[in-house]
Structure 1
Amino acid sequence: MTHDHDLVLRPTPRQVEAALNPPPGRNGGDLVVETLAGLGATTVFGLPGQHALGMFDALRRSDLRYVGLRVENNAGFAADAYGRVTGEAAPLLLSTGPGALTSLAALQEAAAASSPVVAISSQVPAAGLGGGRHGYLHELRDQKASFRDVVKSVHTVRSQSQIPSAIAAAWESALTAPHGPVWVEIPQDVLLAETALPVVTPMDAFPEDVVPRPELTAVAAELLANAARPAIIAGGGVVRADAAGKLLALAERLDAPVVTTFGGKGAFPWEHPLSLQSWLEDRHTTDFLEDADVLLVVGSGLGELSSNYHTFKPRGRIVQIEADLGKLESNHPALGIHADARIALQALLETVTDRTDETAADRVRTVLDKVRARIDAQDLGEERRILAAVREALPAGAPSFWDMTILAYWAWSAWPGAMHSAQGAGGLGYGFPAALGAAAADPEHPVLAVSGDGGAMYSIAELATARQYDLPVTWLIVDDGGYGILREYMTDTFGEATATELARPDFVALAESFGVPAVRTTPDTLTADLAKALAAPGPSVVVLPALLKMFAPTHL
């Protein structure tokens, strides 16, 4: 009998010759970029720093494409978006101390949104690891401790021979369902020292599939097939697992209405007769889901936003499919199935029997009619018109990235189809640098970024990045003179707002100073101006002065 551990890959004579005579002039940084290339990376994001120079010097000896941003947090957002749109691990190269710590908010968003980011940071020289007393520039007592609560795994390298294995282990961790960011740190002297190690050859770091237990999917199939009023909540795990087709097939087989979470937008066709769309912040939708006797939750932990701010009180049986073990039954008791969404949905399709419900589409229409009537009763015509204008201007299939701004809050519920936002962790400044990351993945097609003026100020420096790499990103800045959503929250809660009003630049003139074409628009001209900007090559900015309002909450 032959076991896997009995199989030894024997090098060819050419490989032996190459290993015994590596090219001169290489250092530890070369081992980093050779490993990344061997794992299949083609593009890396980052920002250099003193301790990380060995990695960045090695980039010029590699075929990796480097996209350098101006702020480490923005580089993290760009890598996050690259991982979201490609499904591939996105390398992020950073320096020590302040450079590393500045990326934390972006890595928190990547963790919340399950984006596979492989962050590789330098460290102080190996002699100073764990000390905090040596007086090195950027030194921290325990740098990795700052990241352990944010990322999936941390990996500290202490010698050059550890570099390929550590990065490969991190790569596999990032791509294991649920995807997420990982952290590797390598001392400065290890990166700078000349190496005699052989050139790193291509390697596999494929993660193990998270496969459902068959006895659980059998029970789930029985519950769904015999339900009187089944319904489905589709979360971001469906999108990340590329399981939208399997979800559609299952919903149609069961005649089960489907609502997508804000992170799961695009998981189900918006205009399908069974689509409840994404109106999760609406009591009519919440009531419908509470009335389901069997509720299938796929790829969602039913967190704050997905549960209408934890007002959702289901009365029926829940079946939850979730790749993140920590989210399984974390908010509601369920038949918990720990699995990748795609594999679990396939298992259900193979075992569930068909059910027919001729009332399902009518019940969906009734809910959507109630939602529309509620919105119609509020004075929100301008907001709806602006969102529709943006949708009309965006070419079919073009990705969009949204900052934490009122128009994005509208889009979570009302945008018809896929979109990307920072609603996982909720930090400001995501939209524009994330759009740059997506454009780096596909520079042949336009990408839309949407920010408020407050969030835009986090990312202004990246106009230089957009121009330097000529990335086709159109940035829509909705200028309402402050932190608009916080203004609403404070006014509603305290009667007036504090610390929400902002001085801001002339965004058009500022963009043009970077060499980026810009235009000031109005609600009437928004579609034409935005479409023109998206059709033009390279980056552009469209500024819309507008004071928008949110629809009234229904969870109170």
Structure 2
Amino acid sequence: MIDFDPGTAAAPAGDSRRTSQRNGGDLVVETLEALGAKTVFGIPGQHALGLFDAMGRGNLHFVSSRVENNSAFAADGYSRATGEVGVLFLSTGPGALTSLAGLQEAYATGVPMVVVASQIPLEGLGARRKGMLHQLDDQKASAANVTKSQRLIQHASGIPSAIQDAWTEAISSPQGPVWLEIPQNVLLDPIMVPPVEDALAEAADNPPRVELVREAVKWLSTAERPAIIAGGGTRRGRAEKSLLSIAEKLRAPVICTPGGNGAFPWTHELSLQSWIEDRHMTDILEDADVLIVIGSSLGEVTSNYFTFAPRGRIIQIDAEPRVLESNSPGLGIRADAGQALAALDEALAAPVDTTRSWRGTTPEDLVKDSLAKVKARLESQDLGKELKFMSDIREAVPADMQTFWDMTISAYWGWSCWDARQGQFHSAQGAGGLGYGFPAAIGGAVGLETLGKPGRVLAVSGDGSSMYSISELATAKQHNIPVTWLIVDDGGYGILREYMVGAFGKATATELARPDFVKLAEAFGVPATRVAPEDVGDALKAGFAADGPNVVVVETLLKMFGPTHLDD
């Protein structure tokens, strides 16, 4: 169980600590509570003191990270694990700027968040007063690249409506983080605005255009070799049920991108799983005469590093209009994936075509043969240690456990080989920044507890990426958060080492001095153990059975699989 101690928990309604004097900060807390928020991540700051003071009169649980970037990752993980909006409180200037890399991941991946940042006093905005602490020329502009929109609230009476609007925008597809700024005096000054009693935020409707669905059905009704790419938008739009129905009606092979991992049953006879970086799979997708792409831009990874050259027609469904046809021409359908696939499924109410074949073979046999080719390729590359390592982790992790992966070689393997089963696979492939895994797992575990579904989660990092978030061991210990953190220590930035050796014959600046991770974790009061690669499964099982946070360190050098080449 997560321990929300008195130092971080809010006073219940009606508690004697409540005061009669309310301020702008109270309006923030009251509105968030009315919208259904239960947990907030962040770090206090000078200009945000009114906000944190008000939280002491409300009912929001506050989880204090040690670095703002990790607070953003934690709010992101909370949202992904629960499907709810993540809420982040930031201080002005350095605090706000430090969060941006975490917000870039949320923005790139479509994670709904409401970010409340403090600002210098209203009268100092734009004045460039000499010596004003934390002042930026335009703080909102700094957030413009990593959030859907930015708002400055200049009067306390505007706080409830602005937060309500931000929440609505965050959950409307394409989902993402929304930025609000409130000056210090607006948060602190006494107010005449009555307590917020209710707030309503409903996602804007984003259905597909009827004529586009009709055209897509026309293409699919005559297709001989349909195939489907399920991207992250499939999961965000909760479109899994419709995807399964459409795939079975069309008898279309389905492959999931790293973001879409888990959107389609791993062991289904039409599942190409997530081997999106394998040339055997690229060949199938290129040979499709109609390819449905859901919630993916066909970007770098999904296109097998832009080697993908489709010969058939593409139906691309995405809520973000800038994504449509950005990498390949096709029939672009701007819509929420869930609504679009539901409409397409309803329109495809024809019986399954039991005679369909793919150049003389059944789609099911094509899938089986292709997966066998992938297996044979991997077995030919001396990757026995890597295959067993990933298999041992998968065997140890309960089927319904959520996992959070940093940008590390283990995660790159996970993108392709991880069967999410009844759990969820979360990684930082949206923006690709380091340090995501552990703080996001903290947020995920907190979110599950908040929803009344307490459960342990797994974080996976490398030694390089773990140093970005090592301070959050203090957060995990303070709140007794049930996270098991697997650190795969290969002595440097392993994937960059591979890239450089492959490109230049040697690696430069990839090797790292690092701490004794076991002793460091223990210094935070977090139990830790170091094991050999072959013992990782047993160590994880022991960690999963424990209380609170714990760390498992494995010192090993893992290799990445090599893709087949265009002329293979």
Scaled to the shorter chain, the TM-score interval is over 0.9
Name the stretch that deviates more: 491-500 or 267-276.
491-500
Instruction: Give every structure 1 segment of 4 or more consecutive aligned residues whose post-TM-superposition deviation is greater than 4 Å.
Output: none
Partner SS for 2:31? helix
Equivalent pair of 1:121/1:185 in contact (CA under 8 Å): yes
1:56 pairs with 2:52: yes
TM-score (norm 2): 0.93
Q: Would the aligned equivalents of 1:447 and 1:474 in 2 still touch at CA under 8 Å?
A: yes
Superposed displacement of residue 131, structure 1: 3.1
Paired with 2:292 and 2:27, the residues of 1 have a C-alpha distance of: 46
| Equivalent residue for 1:425, pick from 427, 431, 435 | 431
1:555 Cα offset (Å): 5.7
- Tell me which residue corresponds to 1:374: 377
Describe the SS at the equivalent of 2:277. coil
Say which of 469, 485, 490 aligns to 2:479: 469
Given residue 188 of structure 1, which amino acid in structure 2 is its aligned partner?
Q
Task: Specify every segment of 5 or more residues in structure 2 that has no aligned partner in the other structure, as ranges.
Answer: 1-17
1:441 and 2:447 are equivalent in the alignment: yes
Partner AA of 2:284 in structure 1 = F
1:261-299 CA distance string (max 9 Å, x none):
010000000010000011111111001000000001111
More displaced stretch, 36-45 vs 546-555: 546-555
How many angstroms apart in 2 are the aligned matches of 1:528 and 1:371?
Answer: 28
Contact 1:298 1:321 (C-alpha < 8 Å) held by counterparts = yes
Pick which of 126-135 and 499-508 moved more: 126-135
Match of 1:539 among 545, 549, 552: 549
Native 8 Å contact 1:126 1:187 kept in 2: yes
Residue-by-residue CA offset, 1:292-314 (whole Å, 9 max, x unaligned): 00001111111111110111110
Structure 1 residue 482: deviation in Å? 0.6
Residue number among 388, 392, 395 corresponding to 2:395 in the alignment: 392
1:256 aligns with 2:259: no
What pairs up with 1:51-450 in 2 under 5 angstroms?
51-352=47-348, 353-354=350-351, 355-356=353-354, 357=356, 359-417=362-420, 418-443=424-449, 444-450=454-460
Provide the rounded CA distance (Å) in 2 between the counterparts of 1:107 and 1:53. Answer: 22
CA shift at 1:218, angstroms? 0.9
Q: Cα distance, 1:525 vs. partner?
A: 1.4
**Take 2:565 and 2:234, find their aligned partners in 1: how far apart are those partners?**
26
Residue identity in the other structure for 1:351: A
> Secondary structure in 2 aligned to 1:251?
helix
Give, in angstroms, the shift of residue 132 of structure 1: 2.9
Q: CA deviation at 1:225?
A: 2.0
Aligned equivalents of 1:88 and 1:448: distance in 2?
A: 20
- Contact 2:482 2:548 (8 Å CA) reproduced: yes
CA drift of 1:196 comes to: 2.0
Contact 2:81/2:448 (CA < 8 Å) preserved in 1?
no
**Structure 1 contact 309–555 (Cα < 8 Å) conserved:** no
Find 2:530's aligned residue among 512, 520, 523: 520
Residue type matched to 1:371 in 2?
V
Partners of 1:235 and 1:503 in 2: how far apart?
A: 37
Alpha-carbon separation, structure 1, partners of 2:125 and 2:244 = 52
Give 2:237's aligned amino acid: A
Distance 2:202 2:265 in 1: 31
Counterpart of 1:13? none
- 1:203 Cα deviation (Å)? 1.1
The alignment partner of 1:318 has SS state of strand
Q: CA deviation at 1:554?
A: 3.5
Q: Distance in 1 between matches of 2:565 and 2:86?
A: 38
Q: What is the identity, as a one-letter code, of the residue corresponding to 1:89? A: V
Could you report, residue by residue, the CA deviation over 1:203-255 in whole angstroms, capped at 9, with x for unpaired residues? 11112121100111011112112200000000001111111111001101111
Name the % identity.
Answer: 61
The answer (yes or no) to whether the contact 1:109–1:425 under 8 Å persists in 2 is yes
Contact 1:311-1:555 at 8 Å conserved across structures = no
The CA deviation at 1:367 is 1.1
For 2:496, the aligned partner's letter is L
Aligned counterparts of 1:113 and 1:101: Cα–Cα separation in 2 = 20
RMSD (Å), alpha carbons? 1.2
Q: How many residues are matched? A: 535
Structure 2 counterpart SS, 1:232: strand
Conserved in 1, the CA contact under 8 Å of 2:82 and 2:448? Answer: no
Shift of 1:202: 1.4
Aligned-partner SS, 1:442: helix
Query: Once structures 1 and 2 are overlaid, which stretch shifts more, 413-422 or 210-219?
Result: 413-422
Equivalent residues of 1:447, 1:473 under 8 A apart: yes
Contact 1:317–1:334 (Cα < 8 Å) also in 2: yes
Aligned pair partner of 1:481 in 491, 495, 498: 491
Q: Is 1:281–1:554's contact at 8 Å kept on the other side of the alignment?
A: no
| Aligned counterpart, 1:550 | 560
Q: Which amino acid aligns with 1:404?
A: M
Structure 1 residue 411 displacement after superposition: 0.6
Q: Find the counterpart in structure 1 of residue 25 from structure 2.
A: 29
CA deviation after TM superposition for structure 1 residue 135, in Å: 2.9
Aligned amino acid, residue 182 of structure 2: I
Amino acid at match of 2:316: Q
**Contact (CA 8 Å) 2:79, 2:447: kept in 1 or not?**
no
Between 217-226 and 108-117, the greater mean CA deviation after superposition: 217-226
Offset of 1:524 from its aligned partner? 2.0
Q: Is the 8 A contact 1:82 1:440 kept in 2?
A: yes
**Alpha-carbon shift at residue 553 of structure 1 (Å):** 3.1
What letter is aligned with 2:401?
A
The CA distance in 2 between the partners of 1:239 and 1:555, in whole Å, is 31
1:126 CA displacement: 0.3
Q: In the alignment, residue 372 of structure 2 is paired with which amino acid?
A: D
Q: Give the distance between the partners of 1:484 and 1:323, measured in 2 at CA.
A: 35
Q: Is the 8 A contact 1:454 1:502 kept in 2?
A: yes
